[in-house]
Amino acid sequence: MLAARMHEYQKPLLLEQVQEAKNLSGENVLIKVGGAGICRTDLQMIDGYFREYIAHELPLTLGHEIAGWVEEIGESIPENFIKKGDLVVVFSSWGCGVCPQCKSGNEQICGKGKWAGFGPEGGYSEFVLIPSYKYLIKVDKESNLKPEEIAPLTDAGLTTYRAIRKVKHILGPGKSIAIIGMGGLGSYAVQYARILSAGSTVLAFDRNDAKLDLAKRNGADHVINIKNKKSEDIRSEVNKATGRNEVNAAIDVVGTEESIAMGFSMLATEGAYVSSGLVGKQIKIPLFPFVSREFQYYGSFWGNYNDLREVMELAKKGLIKHNVQKFSLSEANDALDLLREGKILGRGVLVP
């Protein structure tokens, strides 16, 4: 099978033939990849950002946003659960199964967890081996969802869902939520903000007008281009849009020191901030306002299996708009370059 693989840090991926898994045993499932989302963390893997945090060997097939068709199954899969040809999405973070996080359903934050494309082989490939059927969610044929649309829902469309659920309790009519960054994650975050925030005003922030236009089409009430603007200018634009120069919640899918400083500067008293983006390495926020105005700060990482199940229910109902740009496997490096340059609108997806 053909796979785009990482052989060295800071080098382009190599497109090569590798042997796919054969004669599956136990709970294993081989998936014929129909779509593999291209995430900024894939770029960060290549750049070595995770080197000190994640042990893995090279070469490695990247890709943790995977949808495709069941190709082959092991002998220990319950009857009628899945069969060859079924369309599925892959829940790509696989925990130890016994720690408190795993037992409470949060395998994605298991200290001993493994993530497809960050150790185990990922989806930038024609086929991918999944260790258990328990990491799959079957997609009904009647839903008419395409693999390239649903692949990004397993991370970009999942991480943002979980992030917004963290602050949903403080939102409602008369409240507002800001989504910072309109890349692959932001375009979903805007939609979930609409769906989950019970009538709050949704604001989208980015430096790129095309991405902000997309945010409008995805349901943002107001969009603000923050390019070359100081925090006080941005606050006055928020004021112009909503009648208040503060927001009650902010979801930061960028995660630079700059975006976090800007986001906190417009947070209302008792406001909540969620960091999902990981571009920077440190957080620097003024302490006195944080304490005296009782801000809340959440880290939110990926999503759990049940979060993904809920996301797939929304997709099935047609409540999620899919903004994807398709690339072939041989275009993986070009697609990664475009992502690095901020030139992908929505999510880039490899379609082998």
Among 102, 212, 249, 260, the residue binding Zn ion under the rule CB under 5 A is 102
Query: Minimum CB separation from Zn ion for residue 72, in Å?
Result: 26
Query: Minimum CB separation from Zn ion for residue 183, in Å?
Result: 11
Rounded Cα distance, 2 and 124, in Å: 9
Task: Decide: is 39 part of the binding site for Zn ion (CB under 5 A).
Answer: yes
Helix axes 186-196, 156-167, angle to 10 degrees: 40
Task: Decide: is 43 part of the binding site for Zn ion (CB under 5 A).
Answer: no
Q: Which is nearer to Zn ion, 104 or 269 (CB)?
A: 104
Give the binding range for Zn ion (CB under 5 A) out of 108-116, 185-193, 219-227, 256-264.
Answer: 108-116
Q: Which is nearer to Zn ion, 41 or 242 (CB)?
A: 41
Give the binding range for Zn ion (CB under 5 A) out of 8-16, 148-156, 175-183, 187-195.
Answer: 148-156
Rounded Cα distance, 294 and 315, in Å: 36
Rounded Cα distance, 154 and 319, in Å: 16
Q: What does the DSSP assignment read for 169-227?
A: GG--TT-EEEEE--STTHHHHHHHHHHHSTT-EEEEEES-HHHHHHHHHTT-SEEEE-T
Task: Decide: is 149 part of the binding site for Zn ion (CB under 5 A).
Answer: no
| Phi, psi torsion values for 321, nearest 5 degrees | -90, 135
Spatial contact of 72 and 24, defined as CB atoms under 8 Å apart: yes
Spatial contact of 95 and 79, defined as CB atoms under 8 Å apart: no
Task: Decide: is 206 part of the binding site for Zn ion (CB under 5 A).
Answer: no
Task: Decide: is 278 part of the binding site for Zn ion (CB under 5 A).
Answer: no
Task: Decide: is 95 part of the binding site for Zn ion (CB under 5 A).
Answer: yes
Q: Which is nearer to Zn ion, 264 or 305 (CB)?
A: 305
Q: Which residues bind Zn ion (CB under 5 A)?
A: 39, 41, 95-96, 99, 102, 110, 155
